[in-house]
Structure 1
Amino acid sequence: MDQHQERASYSTRSMTESEPIVHNIFENKTGSWQYIVADPSTNAAAIIDPVLDYDPISGTISTKTADSLLSMVKRNGYKVDMILETHAHADHLTAASYLKHRLVKEQGDLDTPIICIGKRINEIQKTWGERYNIPVAEYQGVFDKLFDDDETFHVGNMSAKAIHLPGHTPDLMGYKIRDCVFVGDSVFNADLGSARADFPGGSAEDLFRSGRKLLSLPNDVKIYTGHDYPPEGREAPLPYMSVRDHRGKNKHLKDGTSEKDFVKLRRERDVTLAEPKLLHQSLQMNIRAGRLPAPTDTGLRMLHIPLKMKEAQW
């Protein structure tokens, strides 16, 4: 399987009302879905949850994945108005700031895209900024737009809405653009179920309610996930399933599942999960919206990796 897989889908609800063109780009190393959502009537576009490549062995950041997004934007003649983050990811680094920097050069200062996230990112920044001893100046004001719950906006002529979906993290925001909703790490595809809820500020109860909120949308709405880890028997990652499919098949959230049963299942599973491989690197970069740490006096840019010892030896 190639590292990056891309598909484009087209919604056709009405000939008089623009439906989004959705490009689904899968980043294989972290199992992450990235999206370019474009308005065919204006070529305005949004990029959702872009990935910055990182090699933990060498500590090297690279931009191959992000550059492939830029190539797709250019090839289709899109103008990117915004970069939407569903939350501060704990499993991959965001390419938001890199993409903004490049798009300013390519689109011009008057068409600078804005980096957007839910308003509760302030809580996440404080929690993790203090934990990693990051200067406040390095993460304060790095996002251009903080969405309120249920705030409406537009991608070109297409109406869109920010939907608060807490549980995996308290800041998680989904983005509904016409009949597509991009949900980050809340609902996964039906054969996986749901995301973990054991990070600081996470809540299995909230995750259940967020999942059922999504499954209360009209049956034909497409739920686009932030990740996919195809289980045995399914070869290819899937970017979305319909609300109808989730209501009938989602192994954690299908119709008839009680909150009590979901919470029990989620808690029992979460205690068995290891922390994400890129947890520390991701959070330190992502609360900065993907900006690099300030260089030290020696010119090096540093991330903090906590040490763990089974027993104190001295």
Structure 2
Amino acid sequence: ADHAMASARLKERTGAPNAIGEKVADIADLWRGFYNMPKAFDPARDFDRLFADGDSFKLGDLDVRVMLSTGHTMGSITYICGDAAFVHDTLMQPDSGTARADFPGGSTEELWNSLQAILALPGDTRLFIGHDYGADGRDEPEWEATVDKHRADNIHVKEGTAKEDYIATREERDATLSLPDRMLAVLQINLRGGRLPEAESDGAHYLKLPVDKF
């Protein structure tokens, strides 16, 4: 879970504010139910700013625009900066297609709509992805491709792909996937902005894991 704690550590060490999409409040509410922890998580406390779709902010001298990209989760976001867009877990590399949409709060149809919005960006926009698992036969990791490259070659959403075909392909694939290792642990830290739960009476921190819901 160390990567999930980066936000809190960076804020503590640098004093820089942290931010996330405003739909984190809905995600927190969803997972309170799954964990049976009705008082857990307070995004307004743990994040300095909650971004809405269309918001913008400065990163040094750079202007960044926020675009809600739901589907993989209900709060996924794309950040657009100049000719670059950081597309989170929406697209993979063209030879791998797109991200899954079967997590709680996810939606294959919403992911399709988000992908179409991303692919409507200028063709030379460089799309930086969140994960690359490597397609069959490719050994070297990749992390970016242009909108034009995805439109031409993405195995799930290239031009000419019908929405209903995409949904069928994505849902068939998702039905074969298991829950990612440690996801149920890491979420409890992510939803606290990278903070551990409050220490208990023995001074230690504990995570709660449902054993029969997933």
TM-score (normalised: structure 2): 0.93
Match of 1:188 in 2: 92
Match of 1:124 in 2: 27
Are positions 1:249 and 2:160 aligned together? Answer: no
Pick the aligned partner of 2:17 from 103, 114, 120: 114
Q: Larger Rg: 1 or 2?
A: 1
* Structure with greater strand percent: 1
Match of 2:118 in 1: 214
**Per-residue deviation, 1:134:** 4.0
For residues 168-193 of structure 1, give each alpha carbon's deviation from its aligned partner in whole angstroms, at most 9, with x where no partner exists.
01111110011110011011110111
Pick the aligned partner of 1:306 from 198, 205, 210: 210
Q: Which structure 2 residues correspond to residues 69-108 of structure 1 after superposition, within 5 A? A: 93-103=4-14
Q: Structure 1 counterpart of 2:28, which letter?
A: Q
Are residues 157 and 224 of structure 1, via their aligned partners in 2, closer, same or farther at CA, if it must alter by over 3 Å? same
Q: CA RMSD in A?
A: 1.6
SS in 1 for 2:30: helix
Match of 2:188 in 1: 284
Q: Which structure 2 residues correspond to residues 151-300 of structure 1 after superposition, within 5 A? A: 151-300=55-204
For residues 222-262 of structure 1, give each alpha carbon's deviation from its aligned partner in whole angstroms, at most 9, with x where no partner exists.
00001110123211211110111000000111111111000
SS in 2 for 1:299: coil
Whether the aligned pair in 2 keeps the contact of 1:174 and 1:184 (CA below 8 Å) is yes
The one of the two structures with greater contact order (alpha-carbon pairs below 8 A, sep at least 6) is 2
Which ranges of structure 2 fall in alignment gaps of 5 or more residues? none
**Per-residue deviation, 1:201:** 1.4
Match of 1:13 in 2: none
SS in 2 for 1:95: helix
Whether the aligned pair in 2 keeps the contact of 1:129 and 1:284 (CA below 8 Å) is no
Whether the aligned pair in 1 keeps the contact of 2:72 and 2:103 (CA below 8 Å) is yes
Match of 1:10 in 2: none
Are residues 136 and 308 of structure 1, via their aligned partners in 2, closer, same or farther at CA, if it must alter by over 3 Å? closer
Whether the aligned pair in 1 keeps the contact of 2:8 and 2:195 (CA below 8 Å) is yes
For residues 16-56 of structure 1, give each alpha carbon's deviation from its aligned partner in whole angstroms, at most 9, with x where no partner exists.
xxxxxxxxxxxxxxxxxxxxxxxxxxxxxxxxxxxx53xxx
Q: Structure 1 counterpart of 2:6, which letter?
A: A
Q: In 2, Cα distance between the equivalents of 1:247 and 1:192? A: 13
Q: Structure 2 counterpart of 1:254, which letter?
A: K
Whether the aligned pair in 2 keeps the contact of 1:187 and 1:194 (CA below 8 Å) is yes
Whether the aligned pair in 1 keeps the contact of 2:28 and 2:41 (CA below 8 Å) is no
Q: In 2, Cα distance between the equivalents of 1:252 and 1:137? A: 37
Q: Structure 1 counterpart of 2:159, which letter?
A: D
Q: Structure 2 counterpart of 1:215, which letter?
A: L
For residues 194-225 of structure 1, give each alpha carbon's deviation from its aligned partner in whole angstroms, at most 9, with x where no partner exists.
11111111111111111111111111100000
**Per-residue deviation, 1:136:** 3.3
SS in 1 for 2:67: strand
**Per-residue deviation, 1:137:** 6.1
For residues 253-291 of structure 1, give each alpha carbon's deviation from its aligned partner in whole angstroms, at most 9, with x where no partner exists.
111111100000011111110001011111111110110
Q: In 2, Cα distance between the equivalents of 1:261 and 1:164? A: 23
Whether the aligned pair in 2 keeps the contact of 1:152 and 1:161 (CA below 8 Å) is yes
**Per-residue deviation, 1:99:** 1.5
